[in-house]
Structure 1
Amino acid sequence: MLQTPSPTLTLAEFLQQPETQPAREYIDGKIVQKPMPKTRHSRLQSKLIQSINNISEAEQLAYAFPELRCTFGGRSIVADIAVLRWEHIQFDQQGEPLDDVVIPPDWMIEILSPNQSSNQVTGNILHALQYGCQLGWLLDPDDRSILVFLPQQQPELRNNCDALIGLEGIPLALTVEQVFGWLKMKK
Structure 2
Amino acid sequence: MQVALPEQQVPARIVYDTAGGVSQEDYLAFCRANPNLRCERTSEGEIVIAPPVGLESSYRNERLTVQLGNWAQKDGRGKAFDSSAEFLLADGSAYGPDAAWVSHESLRKLSREQRKEFPRLCPEFVVEVMSPSDRLKSAKEKMERWIANGCKLGWLIDPDQQIVYVYRPRRSVKVCRAVQELAGEGPVQGFILDLRPIWAGLG
- The CA distance in 2 between the partners of 1:145 and 1:40, in whole Å, is 17
Contact 2:182 2:195 (8 Å CA) reproduced? yes
String of CA shifts for 1:17-46, please: whole Å, max 9, x gaps: 224333111102111112211122211211
Count of residues paired in the alignment: 183
Q: TM-score scaled to structure 2, two decimals?
A: 0.78
Work out which of the residue numbers 3, 9, 13 in structure 1 matches 2:26.
13
Identify which range, 146-155 or 159-168, moves more after superposition. 159-168
Q: 1:88 aligns with which of 106, 111, 119?
A: 106
Is residue 175 of structure 2 the alignment partner of residue 160 of structure 1? no
State the SS of the aligned residue for 2:150: coil
Number of the residue aligned with 2:86: 69
* C-alpha spacing 1:179/1:113, structure 2 compared with 1 (3 Å): closer
One-letter amino acid matched to 1:65: F
Q: In 1, are the aligned partners of 2:69 and 2:81 still within 8 Å (CA)? A: no
- Normalized per residue, the structure richer in helix is 2
Structure 2, unaligned stretches of length 5 or more? 1-10
Normalising to structure 1: TM-score of the pair?
0.84
Residue of structure 2 aligned with 1:4, choices 3, 6, 14: 14
> Which of residues 190, 197, 201 in structure 2 aligns to 1:171?
190
Q: In angstroms, what is the RMSD of aligned CA positions?
A: 2.5
2:162 aligned with 1:144: yes
Name stretches of at least 5 consecutive residues in structure 1 with no aligned partner: none
Alignment check: 8 A CA contact 1:63 1:84 kept: yes
